[in-house]
Amino acid sequence: MNNKIINFFKIILIVVYIILEEIVWNLFVVKIRTFILKFDIIQKSKEIILKQNRYVVLMIFLLPFLIAESIDIVSVIALAQGFIVLGVAIYILKIVIASFSFWIFSFAKEILISFRWFNNSYKLISHAIAYLNSTAIYKLTTAKIREIKHKLKKILSQKNVY
C-alpha cells in the first residue's frame, strides 16, 4: 500500500515537473530571458551586480525570487477560486519576475553558492531534479511528449502544404 502511495506522489511530482519544464520553462522563460538580454542596460546591470559584495548580490537575487514565489501563491489562489484569466495573467507576471532571478543566478552562481545554506539548497534541488530525470516514469513521459510534439509538427506541416 505504501509503495502505491509513494508511486502516486512520484507520478504527480514528475508530471508537474515536466509541465513546468516543457511548457513554462521552454516556451516562456527562455524566450523572455533571450528578449531581455538584448538590451544594453541589462549587460551594464550585470557588471554592476557582480561588483557588489556577496550579501548585496544575494539580496538582489532573493528579492525578485521571493516576489515571484509569492505571486505564484496568489495565482494558485485565483485559479482555485475560478478566476482563470486572472490566475494565468498573474502567473505570467511571475514568470517574468522569475526570469530576472534566473538571469542573475546564471552569472552570479559562484557568489550565491558561497553561502553554505544556499549551496546546500542548490545541491538538494539539483539532486532532486537528477532523481526525477532518472526515473522510468519521467523517461517514459518525456518520450511520449516528444512523440506527440513530433506528430503535431508533422500534422501542422502537412496542413501548410495545401
pLDDT digits (tens, 9 = 90+) for 65-99: 999 989 988 988 888 888 888 988 888 888 888 88
Average pLDDT over the chain reads: 83
Side-chain-side CA neighbours of 106 within 13 Å: the count stands at: 12
Domain ranges of the chain: 2-161
Q: What is the pLDDT averaged over residues 106-135?
A: 92
| Torsional sign, CA 143, 144, 147, 153 | negative
Q: Which sign, positive or negative, has the C-alpha torsion 1, 20, 99, 34?
A: positive
What is the rounded end-to-end Cα distance, in angstroms, of the chain?
54
Each residue of 12-27: pLDDT tens digit?
Answer: 766 666 666 666 666 6
Measured from the Cβ of residue 98, the count of other Cβ atoms closer than 10 Å reads 23
Beta-carbon-side half-sphere exposure of residue 105 (alpha carbons within 13 Å)? 15
Q: Note if the pTM is more than 0.85.
A: no
